[in-house]
Amino acid sequence: MKKHVKAEVKVKVKEKVMVKVFIICILYLYLLSSPVVFAQQEKAVSLYKESVKFSEEGNIDRAIEVIKEAVNADPNYPEAYDHLGYMMLKRGQLDEAISAFNSALKINPRMRTSKTGIGLALLKKGDLKGAESVLKDALTLNPYPSMTHYALGLVYEKLGDYEKAIMHYKEGIKTYKVRIGKE
């Protein structure tokens, strides 16, 4: 009985110490966050939005230039790398796209759009099994995986598994409708 009480006390002491260490880490990070860091983040977000605008206008070259500026302004901004990956994908620069998506995933391993992007790049490279694996993983991260289902449909279509392809196309349509509130 005494051993059980001692073990319980040790656990509680360890929990208190861990909470204190966590609080100290948060305070330390807060103190490190200077106005310069916030200015860099704001600049990166602004450049990201500008790049998206150029992309929507079809000016991919300018979109890439601007998103690279965003990455330089804040190298810890995963959305910038993700957008760069999709711009490289549009350009057909598949290895560069995969590299950009991987950079986003190093910062945020749950970045579902980057996983889907890697799957699309692997599909375009002809690595159907690799694409299938990455896209299946992306499905687990995504609450509205319409694009991921579409990409998996493409993979299964190329593999000749039309039943699975149709199933994923239908699932993509269904999740898209749910996302936009039509179902």
Supply the pLDDT for residue 42: 86
The better pLDDT of the pair 94, 37 is held by 94
Average pLDDT, the chain: 84
Supply the pLDDT for residue 14: 65
Own/partner pairs, 135-138, CB within 8 angstroms, 24+ separation: 138/112
Question: 115 in a domain, yes or no?
Answer: no
Encode pLDDT of 42-59 as tens digits.
Answer: 888 889 999 999 999 999
* Tally of CB atoms within 10 A around 35: 7
Supply the pLDDT for residue 37: 62
Check whether residue 140 and residue 98 sit in a common domain: no
Supply the pLDDT for residue 83: 95
CATH number of the domain residue 48 falls in: 1.25.40.10
Q: Is the pLDDT of residue 62 over 90?
A: yes
Question: Tokens 């605008």 map to which residue?
Answer: 53
Check whether residue 104 and residue 40 sit in a common domain: yes
* Tally of CB atoms within 10 A around 148: 28
Encode pLDDT of 70-119 as tens digits.
Answer: 999 999 999 999 999 999 999 999 999 999 999 999 999 989 899 999 99
Question: Quick check: 77 and 71 in contact, CB under 8 A?
Answer: yes
Check whether residue 142 and residue 170 sit in a common domain: yes
Question: 151 in a domain, yes or no?
Answer: yes
Supply the pLDDT for residue 181: 66
Q: Which of 77, 109, 141 is the last residue of a domain?
A: 109
Question: 5 in a domain, yes or no?
Answer: no
Q: What average pLDDT score do residues 132-160 get?
A: 89
Give the count of domains, the chain: 2
Check whether residue 104 and residue 134 sit in a common domain: no
Question: 168 in a domain, yes or no?
Answer: yes
The better pLDDT of the pair 69, 15 is held by 69
CATH number of the domain residue 146 falls in: 1.25.40
Question: 78 in a domain, yes or no?
Answer: yes
Q: Which of 109, 139, 156 is the last residue of a domain?
A: 109
Quote the Cα angle for 84-147-60, to 5°. 30
Domain ranges, residue 91: 36-109
Supply the pLDDT for residue 5: 56
Supply the pLDDT for residue 87: 96
Q: Give the torsion through C-alpha atoms of 54, 124, 94, 47, to 10 deg.
A: 20
Supply the pLDDT for residue 126: 96
Question: 11 in a domain, yes or no?
Answer: no
Q: Which of 59, 76, 109 is the last residue of a domain?
A: 109
Question: 26 in a domain, yes or no?
Answer: no
Question: Quick check: 42 and 50 in contact, CB under 8 A?
Answer: no
Check whether residue 105 and residue 134 sit in a common domain: no
Supply the pLDDT for residue 65: 96
Question: 2 in a domain, yes or no?
Answer: no
